Amino acid sequence: MAISVPHGGRLINRFVDPKEVDRLTQKASQMKKIELTPREISDLELIAIGVFSPLEGFMGSADYQSVLDRMRLANGLPWSLPITLSVTAAEAAELKQGMEVALIQETGLPLAILKIDEIYPFDKEKEAVAAYGTNDASHPGVAYTQTLGDFYLGGKIEMLRRSPIQRFHEHQMDPAQTRKLFEEKDWKRIVAFQTRNPIHRAHEYIQKCALEITDGLLLHPIVGETKSDDVPADVRMRCYKVLLENYYPKDRTILAVFPAAMRYAGPKEAIFHAICRKNYGVTHFIVGRDHAGVGNFYGSFDAHHIFQKFTLEELGIQPLFFDHTFYCKRCLGMVSAKTCPHDSSEHIALSGTKVREMLRGGIKPPPEFSRAEVAEILIEAMSDQARQPK
């Protein structure tokens, strides 16, 4: 297997010629302006660099409805979540098809120009149920949908510049860059791991199992918007770095950030994450227990089952499914329900709540659960957070 072909056959690049940036910025200053949310800025940049290939802009109504109804773009290509730009009814009233608008960030800086192909209303409840499987406002994806305006704008973008508010520069790699690096390393089979949490021994185990059958691992943590109670990205990045420095083969691992926002869409986000990694050139994608889940909205292995709705050929990336993993005192090693015959009393498995309680108390979880270096970073971060004035 060679580096994966981009979804739809071509890696999209929507950046304008650098020589045109000043002229188009001046042009944008005369246009009507749409201020983007942090998630929309993230989506805009991911369209521009090709992570969302074959999308060249925000979805029109045909693609949008097709994605909600059958997890495919209107042309039949697999795609599981809508990529959209909303406006209020008041904003929509001042816009029309064919118009160009400037997409700006909070400071007023124009990031891109959107040519409006379509202005269309949408049903927030239908979208929530289709994308997240629920209309319960306690689901963060549903709550976000309810904050949107009542209309979507569909059309291609021309990207002028990235937002200057960027983090983790040394670990930013666009799909064109990862593809080039994989070729330079002569990696043919590349596995990616998606994470929004610190990596404990269970995650390390499944990554190394996957690394046994591939040439290299792309550790690809999400650093866009996440829930307020998730571990902050800068803390997580420190954990990833110390782990890779001490416990992973340096010539077979790459740490690069995935600048997307979390949707918490469970199984549909597993498909979405796999397609995005395919565009980075990845050939294999780890899908663990409750991938991209939140609360009790999804079954533990719904994210495995959803892949049955697509053929391997049309997805173009090989999922690697892993069960819940843990340390077994009888086996004397990391195992899963598939490989361990022993009773749960022999297993060292801690709930997230229990781990947070231990860390807040300055207590390191047992080494069979978490590497000491990772625990130290998390204890320090929680201690700093506790000292901050409320």
Helix (H) or strand (E) holding 219: strand 216-221
Catalytic residue among 39, 197, 356, 360: 197
> Which residue type, as a one-letter code, is found at position 283?
T
| Secondary structure letter of residue 309 according to DSSP | G
Q: The tokens of 167 are what?
A: 């983090």
Alpha-carbon Rg for the chain, nearest whole angstrom, is 22
279 part of the active site: no
List the structure tokens of 261: 């926002």
* Integer Cα distance of 19 and 12 in angstroms: 20
Is 13 known to be catalytic? no
Amino acid at site 43:
D
Catalytically annotated residue among 14, 161, 179, 196: 196
Tokens of 290: 């409750």
Give the position of tokens 């409750």: 290
**CB contact at 8 A, 262 and 294:** no
237-244: long-range pairs with CB below 8 Å, 24+: 237/168, 237/171, 238/377, 239/198, 239/199, 239/374, 239/377, 239/378, 240/198, 240/199, 242/371, 242/373, 242/374, 242/377, 243/199, 243/204, 243/371, 243/373, 243/374, 244/219
At 296 the three-state DSSP class reads coil
Catalytic positions, written as ranges: 196-197
